Amino acid sequence: MQSRSLSRRRQFGGQFRALKTLGLAMILFAVGPLSAADKPIISCEGNEKNLQIYLQIHKVLFSDRDGSRVNEFYAEEIISHNTDGGGSVSRTVPSSYLANMWNNSRQTTPERVLDDELILCSGDFVIVRTRVRSRDNVGLPPYPPTGKPFDISAIDIYRFENGRVVERWGNSDVMSQYRQLGYTFVPAEKAPAAQTEVSDQK
């Protein structure tokens, strides 16, 4: 009986720490981006291994966008929960898809800069709040690229198994991005038909 009670307390403690960690992330999301000169706030005591792997991911895949090294850090397939489009979207994504995405991104938006502002770890999870600065070189089909710069924030949650990412939850402030680019949203029936597929860039 005592063993079961201890197990429940440990489980509750882990859930509480995860909620506390996520709560801190949401607070930072609300207050806006830090100065580019600020270093990220990091709270990963006891999770240094996953922290170091994530920092390598940020350098190799997110900044250098070297898709050829994706399987060093990601499983062959990951479960992706990307909510940029709203709602809850979950699907299994092969690592080759991610590699192509980063390679294409390097070519279309070479000036893109990602600055992590907050990194929190809890068990198998790493939660990151990131500032994204780039330029609209792709456009929102059927509209051509505006060439305008944008500065937005994003939050991603990564779950690790055996040193690699196996699951990801992510969303970015795309509405703020579109406003900065000068887009005006109208009812669907008044919008022009798309001529090309929307590029899945992150």
pLDDT in tens, 94-144: 999 999 999 999 999 999 999 999 999 999 999 999 999 999 999 888 889
The SS3 call for residue 19 is helix
Domains and CATH numbers, the chain: 2-190 (3.10.450.50)
Answer yes or no: is pLDDT of 25 > 70: no
**Is pLDDT larger for residue 17 or for residue 89?**
89
**CA trace torsion 155, 159, 162, 165 (10° rounding):** -50
**pLDDT-derived band at 87, boundaries 50, 70, 90:** low
The pairing of beta strand 149-161 with beta strand 125-135: antiparallel
What is residue 5's predicted lDDT score, i.e. its pLDDT? 47
Yes or no: say if 41 and 119 are a contact pair by the CB < 8 Å rule.
Answer: yes
